Structure 1
Amino acid sequence: ISMAWAGSLASIRLVIQGKHLELTEALKAYVEDKVGKAVHNHAYLVMEVDVRLSVRGGESGRGQKLQKCEVVTMFTKKHGVVRAEEATDSMYSAIDRVSDVVARKLRKIKEKDGHGRRLPSHVGEILSRESSTAPPTPAVEEPDFPDEIVRTKIFDMPPLKINDAMDHMANIGHDFYAFRNAESGEVNILYKRKEGGYGIIIPRE
């Protein structure tokens, strides 16, 4: 369901999706209110907000019945994407929690916006130490996954500095992030190391 906010949020597209549950008017109004308050102070940056509500487990499935809310906030190319996800036994509680997480992440972006962050020294050390090697692969038993491509994602990849790529990776909550290095023009992979700090994979010339 595609909706539109009023007032200062009128320029932002709101998309609400439901899986294994009925999107009632009360639920849609609650999402519009709570998530709207979370992004209100950052309307000048946000292009789209995608809210995905789902139910899993319980009588028709395995384990505890959980109500999950996931919010993906699409920003300008400079600021990337913010993602938050929460699952509880109440959908309204999940919406409350995920809205709080989104609001905190947006505040951090606002604080950093316009204030350049120095590249941590350990990233520079990793760049020189691991320039010719791949990240260590732990010896673990491989799960039985299908040996075929089951999903394809297409997205813009504007040039980024390494410290900006680190911010983007933190915003989406992933352990790795592919980006185009603004200095070299090449696609690099930034990742979190189990030993602490970050690593980066750079293609050999």
Structure 2
Amino acid sequence: MKYNIIGKNIEVTDALESAVVEKLEKLDKYFNDSVEAQVTLIVEKLSHIIEITIPFNGTVLRAEVEGKNMYNIMDDAVAVIEKQVNKFKHKLKNKHRNGISQFTPDFLREEVEENDSAELKINRKKKFAIKPMDAEEAVLQMELVGHNFFVYLDAETEEVNVVYKRKNGTYGLIEPVLDEE
């Protein structure tokens, strides 16, 4: 696996980079050499955050862990990714059966545990009318209904977008695009 390590408000020293790579090497048993892990190390006030994103074949595994010490939270972030891989092993293997596999042969040969094959169940479906608005109005609507995300039709682009509240109290905007694979 390849690693792309960047820092925000922190200098990625050789020691820090080698510690991150050492921890991420635990994931090498799952992925082949063509998969690239994006690692962002962030320092905000007294908090340290590590974000690991592993995109491959239209699937994204992501972990974000916050703590007081960057070195202490690395194991937790890797554990989150490992848990995702193991939880969805059956589905990930089936999804990527056709085409070039991003997984190692050993991982593909492992047997799937009984509980891994359980289907994901949607408990509730909801339909609602969407009206054209801008992102700022969508954030206001989201806050009024007390949710942490809101789906709306962008008045300018006439595309369906999503605004969401981030853990740090700021807002995010998702503008979906069709994958051209």
> Could you say whether these structures have the same fold, taking a TM-score greater than 0.5 normalized by the shorter chain as the test?
yes
Instruction: State the partner residue of 1:49.
Output: 37
1:27-58: per-residue Cα shift (whole Å, max 9, x none)?
10111010121x2222149621000001111x
Query: Retained in 1: the 8 A contact 2:2–2:33?
Result: no
1:69 is matched with which residue: 44, 50, 55?
A: 50
Call closer, same or farther: CA 1:139–1:22 in 2, change over 3 Å: closer
Please tell me whether residue 92 in structure 1 is matched to residue 71 in structure 2. yes
CA distance in 2, matches of 1:20, 1:111: 39
The aligned runs of 1:31-42 (5 Å cut-off) are 31-37=20-26, 39-42=27-30
Query: Retained in 2: the 8 A contact 1:72–1:82?
Result: yes
CA distance in 2, matches of 1:108, 1:46: 22
2:17 is matched with which residue: 23, 28, 37?
A: 28
- What is the number of residues matched between the two proteins? 125
The aligned runs of 1:128-147 (5 Å cut-off) are 130=127, 133-134=128-129, 140=144
Q: Secondary structure at the match of 1:157?
A: coil
Instruction: State the partner residue of 2:88.
Output: 109
Call closer, same or farther: CA 1:140–1:101 in 2, change over 3 Å: same
Paired AA for residue 51 in structure 1: V
Under a length normalisation based on structure 1, what TM-score does the superposition of the two structures give? 0.50
Call closer, same or farther: CA 1:156–1:107 in 2, change over 3 Å: farther
The runs of 5 or more residues in structure 2 that have no matched partner are 95-111, 131-140, 147-171
Query: Retained in 2: the 8 A contact 1:45–1:76?
Result: no
Paired AA for residue 57 in structure 2: T
> What's the CA shift for 1:119?
6.2
Query: Retained in 1: the 8 A contact 2:41–2:48?
Result: yes
Paired AA for residue 17 in structure 2: K
Q: Secondary structure at the match of 1:106?
A: helix
1:80-118: per-residue Cα shift (whole Å, max 9, x none)?
101110111100012121111111111122243338764
The runs of 5 or more residues in structure 1 that have no matched partner are 1-11, 58-64, 143-149, 160-205
Query: Retained in 2: the 8 A contact 1:69–1:91?
Result: yes
Query: Retained in 2: the 8 A contact 1:46–1:74?
Result: no
Query: Retained in 2: the 8 A contact 1:47–1:76?
Result: no
Please tell me whether residue 120 in structure 1 is matched to residue 99 in structure 2. no
Q: Secondary structure at the match of 1:32?
A: helix
Instruction: State the partner residue of 2:166.
Output: none
> What's the CA shift for 1:25?
1.0
Paired AA for residue 36 in structure 2: E
Instruction: State the partner residue of 1:16.
Output: 5
